[in-house]
Amino acid sequence: MRKLKQLIGQASAAPFYQRKLAMISAGASSSLKAFTQKAPTTTLEELIAEKRATGDPYSSRWNKDRAPLVVFQLEYDSETSLYIGLGREELAGYAEALRRCWSLLGLRRGDGVGIFDYGTSPVSYLASSAFTPYLRRGAADALGCVVICNDGGANMSRRAVEIIKYVRPRILFLRSDCLHPFALEVEKESISLSDYTGALVAVENEAVLSTADREAYEKRLAVRIYRMLRIDAAMFLAVECPRCRLLHTWQDLFLVESPAQDNNEGANPGPTPLVITNWFAKSCPAIRYVSQVKATLEPAGCPRGPKDVRIAA
């Protein structure tokens, strides 16, 4: 409750939320349930409209009393570019989410990690303090891993295969849209991928590789593939657990709602859009952001993280 009150207090320093939160009754911060019933949601369309109307690069979500330390363009195919600003708290909390994703995948001290993704992807820029100014501890720094990063364009697939061959990373993270060109290069080189890496992780913003596609690529490449979900507008990360094969995320970092499910006690309404509230994004809040990812929330209880939030997508 303290966290919720704090978040609402801080959000009112951002013009976008100041207006939104003025619409909710005072009772919305009285309990988490009241919050999820009464606090307004935010959609990508609203962020786009706000950017267009005001010209503010952060869609008026940035706390007007502070200045961002780093700024990234968000990866959405919208007619106007959207940006997020990150301060120290955003960098630290977001990198902690990535560290937990790596940890769940079994990465440990001394492991090599390859990243085949854009520099504006949090999977890249949160990996190491060497990549991003003001990031004190990236996932690799925290876990003692050695990380190598290559731009994630499909035309760079040959180089990604070279990286696999010479660096032999325990895990290679790559964009879902690079899976096919990467697989073509692997086939051209006639190498057995499992001789060079332990697993691939397919990453996407506001989308998840289908389990059918995952299985098809696992068969084609003869290597384990895990899926990772980014919801960049809410600074959210979740990753597929090697044990239960559901996506795990963490309730001390994010509040994850599946509203139709929450309102249909007992009934199964099927997958609905995930709604994310970010607890650590204090200067650039994300409150009840309605993502484009349809999923269902599963009960906690995986041995690999008994309290973790689990998502079937």
Which residues of this protein are in contact with Zn ion, per CB under 5 A?
241, 243-244, 302, 304
Minimum CB distance to Zn ion, residue 195 (Å):
27
Residue with tokens 């690799």: 140
Minimum CB distance to Zn ion, residue 109 (Å):
22
Nearer to Zn ion, 204 or 240 (CB): 240
Minimum CB distance to Zn ion, residue 103 (Å):
12
Minimum CB distance to Zn ion, residue 298 (Å):
9
Half-sphere exposure at residue 207, Cβ-oriented, CA atoms within 13 angstroms: 11
Q: Where do runs of H (alpha helix) occur along the chain?
A: 2-11, 15-22, 32-38, 44-54, 88-104, 122-125, 139-143, 157-167, 179-189, 211-221, 259-263
Nearer to Zn ion, 111 or 240 (CB): 240
The H or E element spanning position 148 is strand 146-150
Nearer to Zn ion, 249 or 283 (CB): 249
Minimum CB distance to Zn ion, residue 311 (Å):
11
Nearer to Zn ion, 64 or 304 (CB): 304
- Coil, helix or strand at residue 104: helix
Nearer to Zn ion, 119 or 301 (CB): 301
Minimum CB distance to Zn ion, residue 105 (Å):
11
Biggest CA pair distance of the chain: 63
Nearer to Zn ion, 5 or 304 (CB): 304
Sequential DSSP letters for 47-95? HHHHHHHH--TTTT-S-TTS--SEEEE-----SS--EEEE-HHHHHHHH
Q: How many helices (H) and strands (E) in the chain?
A: 11, 13
